[in-house]
Structure 1
Amino acid sequence: MATYVLIHGAGDASYWHRLVPELRGRGHDVVAPELPSDDAVGLAGYTDTVVSAIGDRTDPIVVAQSLGGFTGPLVCDRVPVRLLVMLAAMVPVPGETAGDWWDDTGAERARREQAVRDGRSPDFDLVESFFHDVPPEIAAEAMTREQRSESASMWTDPWPLKAWPDVPTRFLLCRHDRFFPASFQRRVVRERLGIVPDEMDGGHLPALSRPKELADRLEAFRLECPAG
C-alpha cells in the first residue's frame, strides 16, 4: 500500500472527489487536505497544513495540481517523499511569487494565443477554460459549490527554496489544457525542471474529467519509482 498526498490548486479539496475512490480502490491510503483561506496564511501555512495532514505516514507520493505546484516542492523539502508528481502545475523558481509567475512565464499570453488558434474567444471564460471536457453533471455540481477564497498572501510570498528539492519528480501535462496549453507547459518544464513531461489527454482538471486514467498514470509512476 502506498500513500498519495493530493494538493489542490485554486479551489478546494473537493476537486479530488472522483480520484480518491479510484486510488483507495487500488488499496492505497489517500490524504487530500483542505488548504487554509486566511489572508495572513501563505505558502508557509499551506505547507504546514499538508505536512500536518501527512502526520507519521512514510514515503508518500505527493501530487500537486496547478497552483499547488508552489506548495508541493515545499512539502518535499520538509518530509521524505517517494515521488513528486506535478499535475498541470505551475513550476516556480527561487524567489518568484505566484502572482509574478504569470508574466515571468508568459502564461496568459500563451492561453490567449492558444484560444485564437483553436477558434475560440481569447477572453477568459471559467467553463470554457476549465470544464470543457468535464462530464456536465460533474461540472454543474462543481459550479454550485461555494468557492473557497485563496489566501492573499499565497500570491505574494516569494517561493523560499534556493533550488528544487532532491526528490524524484514527474510532470504530467494535459494535451487539451486550455488554461496552461501543452506547448507552453512543455517549454516551461524544459526550462525550469530540465525534464521532458509526461502527457495525457484531457483539459486542466483531469481528476474531474478522467479520474480512472489519471489514477492509472499515477500508479504507473509509482511502479517506476521504487519505495525508499
Structure 2
Amino acid sequence: MLKHSQEKIGFVFVNGAGLEARVWSKVVEGFEHPYLLVEFPLRKSSFDSRRGLSLEDYVTHAKRQVDEWGPRKIVIVAHSLGGVLAHRLASELTDRLAGIVAVGAAIPKNGGSFLSILPLPQKLIMSVILRTLGTKPPESAIRKGLCSDLSPEQATDIVGGFIPEAVRVYTDRINVTVPDVRKLYVKLANDKEFPLSLQDKMISNFSPQFVQTLETGHLPMLSNPEGLRAILENFLSEELR
C-alpha cells in the first residue's frame, strides 16, 4: 500500500485489470494532496490462490485499506475495470465520499457487471474467453489494446507485469446506484480498448456533472500523467470552492 497523507481531502486510486497500484506513480509524483494507491488482494500470491476471489473480496480488501488511512473526505479515482470495483466501494463510503473520477472506466448500471457493459457480440465472446482461456489476454492483445500509445519500454513492462484477475471480478453484479456526489468522467479519445461509443455509454450510466477529454490511449497515467494530474487537481480545487 502506497500512501501520503497530510491534507483534508485525499485521492483513492483504483487501477484496472491486470495492473498494479504503481501504475499511478507518475500521476502522483509531486502531488500536493494525500493519496492512497489501492492494492488488489493476494497480488503477490499465485493465480490459484486468487482464482476463487469474488468482486466483494476485492471491495472488502480495498475498503480495509481506506479505513486504515487518514483523510476523512476522499475522492475515488477509478480506471477501466476498476470502475466496477470503485462503484461498489463508493457505496460503502458515502459518509466520506467527496467525489468520483472515472478515467476511461467501466460503470455498469445498478444490477450490472463488467460483462453487462459490453455490446452483445463482444459480451458473448468475452464470456467464452473467461471460461476457457482465463483473464490474461494474449500479449498481442495487450499491446494493441492497453499499450497502443505507449513507448516500447512501457508496453513491455505492462505485458511482463500483467496479473490475471479472478473471473468473478468480471461477472459479479453490483446492486448499487451511482452516489449523488460530484462526478467527472475522463474520456480517452484514442482508446483502443474502450472505444468512444462504449465510453459514451459509461458516461450515460455515470451521469457526471463534468466530462473532460485526454488525447490518449487506454493508459493515460503512463502516456500523459501530467495531463491527468492537472485534471485531478482542478477537480479537487473546484470541489473546495
TM-score by length of 2: 0.77
1:134 to 2:146 alignment: no
Cα distance in structure 1, aligned partners of 2:175 and 2:227 = 34
| Further displaced range: 130-139 or 216-225 | 130-139
Deviation at 1:106, TM superposition (A): 6.6
Percent identity for Structure 1 against Structure 2:
24
* Structure 1, unaligned runs of 5 or more: 110-123
Question: Following the alignment from structure 2 to structure 1, what is the Cα–Cα distance between the partners of residues 144 and 124?
Answer: 15
Equivalent position of 1:116 in the other structure: none
| Counterpart residue identity of residue 166, structure 2 | S
Q: Give the deviation of 1:6 after TM superposition.
A: 0.6
How many corresponding residue pairs?
A: 207
The reply to whether residue 125 of structure 1 matches residue 141 of structure 2 is yes
Residue 166 of structure 2: aligned partner: 151
State the SS of the aligned residue for 1:62. strand
* Distance of 1:7 and 1:154 partners within structure 2: 14
- 1:9 is aligned to 16
Distance in 1 between residues matched to 2:201 and 2:121, nearest whole Å: 9
2:200 counterpart of 1:193: no
Aligned to 1:45: 57
Deviation per residue, 1:152-175 (Å, 9 max, x gap): 2212211121x2222221111111
SS of the residue corresponding to residue 13 of structure 2 reads strand
Check whether the contact 1:36–1:151 (CA below 8 A) recurs between aligned residues: no
The separation in 2 between residues aligned to 1:126 and 1:60, in whole angstroms, is: 32
Structure 1 residues 121-174: Cα deviation after superposition (integer angstroms, max 9, x where no partner): xxx7321222121133222222232x322012212211121x222222111111
User: Residues 142 and 159 of structure 2 are in contact (CA less than 8 Å); yes or no, is this contact kept in structure 1?
Assistant: no
Aligned-pair distance for 1:51?
1.4
1: CA distance between counterparts of 2:173 and 2:72?
A: 28
Deviation at 1:107, TM superposition (A): 7.9
Matched-pair contact (CA < 8 Å) for 1:105–1:188:
no
Relative contact order, higher structure (CA 8 A, sep 6+): 1
For structure 2, list consecutive stretches of 5 or more residues without a partner in the other structure.
1-6, 43-49, 126-139
Q: For structure 1, which segment, 95-104 or 164-173, has the greater mean C-alpha deviation from structure 2 after superposition?
A: 95-104
Match of 1:27 in 2: 32
Q: Secondary structure at the match of 1:93?
A: coil
